[in-house]
Structures are given as structure tokens and as C-alpha cells.
Amino acid sequence: MLQYAEGLTDRQAAEQVRADGFTILKAVYAPRAPAWLREVPAVRVLRRARVEQYHRDGEGVRWREGKDLPPGRRRLSSPHDPDARYATKRGSGWCGYKVQTPTTQ
């Protein structure tokens, strides 16, 4: 597990996590890296999260704006469960699944 220096603001810690993720992906996708590394499920989720959340341009790496994010039904909501989705109903939000259950009378 990566550890970060004490006293970092949330923004600084988020920037460090972003940079660390890109460092890992750069190493995994380097020409001399073993191909099997790219097939590791955690690496696939990391890559997907970076593609969805960040935008690279001539100025560097930036957070994607809301309009540039994938639609909610396709967006990664949890790196621990790539199939889970974020949902809201009556003002409550959660990450997980929706299940329809029939009612009997």
C-alpha cells in the first residue's frame, strides 16, 4: 500500500495518487514490460479509471469535466467492483446494484 506524507491536503493527496497511477501504467505499458502485466485485472481497472477520469493534452493531465465523463451507466463507480454503478433515488445515492423484487398480495 502506498503511503503519503502527513500534512498533505486532499487535493495534494489526489494529485499524488493520480501521478502514481500514471507511473504504474507507464511501466506496465512500456515496450520491454511483460505482456501478461497488461492482463492483470487490477491493471485493467486502473487504466479504465485513468481514461475515464483524466484528459491528456499539450498542457498535461487534467481532471475531466462533468460533460466529458462517460454516461453514468458506463462509468466505473468502484475499483473494487467494476460492475457496480452509482445511483440515486429520492435524494439518496449509493454505489452498488439495483434489484427489482416482485411483491405478492
Distance CA 70, CA 63 (A): 13
Which pLDDT score is estimated for 24?
A: 92
Q: Give the start-to-end residue ranges of the domains of the chain.
A: 10-96
Q: Say what the pLDDT of residue 3 is.
A: 59
Q: Tell me: pLDDT of 68 over 60.
A: yes
Q: Is the pLDDT of residue 5 over 80?
A: no
pLDDT, tens digit, 9 for 90 and up, residues 12-49: 888 888 888 889 999 999 999 999 999 999 999 999 88
Question: 2 falls in which pLDDT band (50, 70, 90)?
Answer: low
Q: Which three cell numbers stand for residue 97?
A: 446494484
Q: Mean of the per-residue pLDDT values for the chain?
A: 83
For residue 44, the model assigns a pLDDT of 93
Tell me 67's DSSP state: G
Q: How many helices (H) and strands (E) does the chain have?
A: 2, 4
